[in-house]
Structures are given as structure tokens and as C-alpha cells.
Amino acid sequence: QSALTQPASVSGSPGQSITISCTGTSSDVGAYNHVSWYQQHPGKVPKLMIYDVSNRPSGVSDRFSGSKFDNTASLTISGLQAEDEADYYCSSYTNRDTWVFGGGTKLTVL
């Protein structure tokens, strides 16, 4: 199972919006609405930000949103804030009853 494809890095200025893509295949991202996104600050435990493509857990800012088209899922962060600077990972359930992560994207807030 190959890792999902994410850009290595993205950046944006405070107040701007950015989008991180996550490309898989018809066996994972394209097959199920079970894509989730995680935020990880250095030295910290990953935190769930989006689940099942577009759902936000309680307590997660509505500046975070998710979507999917075909084999590509996306995470959008609007109104960028300094605290959003972190690594972001997507994950998907697969048709082999396994899970797979993306390689991760480093978000820099300029």
C-alpha cells in the first residue's frame, strides 16, 4: 500500500486561506468517504481535525474544512493564524481493511 500523496510544504500569510491536497487511488480515497486529517505540532501527538472527508470534531475551529473529488481529498484552512503552523497528515481507509497515511505537509505561516 503506497502512501497518499501530499505536497511537502505549503505557506500562507496570516488571514489568507490555503489548501492541502491528498491524492490516493480508487482503492482508498476514491472508494470511501473515510478520509481524515491530522495536525501535528513539533514533539506533539497528532490531533484529529477533520474526519469522514468533511466533518469537524467538537472543539476544532470552523476555519478548517475538508472536501473530496474523485481520488483527491483536500484540507482548507481559512483565516490563517500563527498557531496553524504545523505538519498536516491525511489518512484514508482502504479496500483491504487497512489504513494509509499521506507523507505529510509542512504548513508555514509567513
Using CB under 8 A, list all residues that contact another protein. 1, 3, 32, 34, 36, 38, 40, 45-46, 48, 51-52, 57, 87, 89, 91, 93, 96-104
Nearest distance, CB of residue 26 and another protein, angstroms? 17
Nearest distance, CB of residue 13 and another protein, angstroms? 26
- Distinct helix (H) and strand (E) counts, the chain: 0, 9
Q: Which amino acid is at 40?
A: Q
Considering beta carbons, is residue 17 or 21 the nearer one to another protein? 21
Nearest distance, CB of residue 75 and another protein, angstroms? 14
Considering beta carbons, is residue 13 or 59 the nearer one to another protein? 59
The set of residues, in sequence order, having a beta carbon less than 8 Å from that of 38 and lying 6+ positions away, is 46, 47, 48, 49, 88, 89, 90, 91
Calpha distance 70→22 (Å, rounded): 11
Considering beta carbons, is residue 74 or 91 the nearer one to another protein? 91
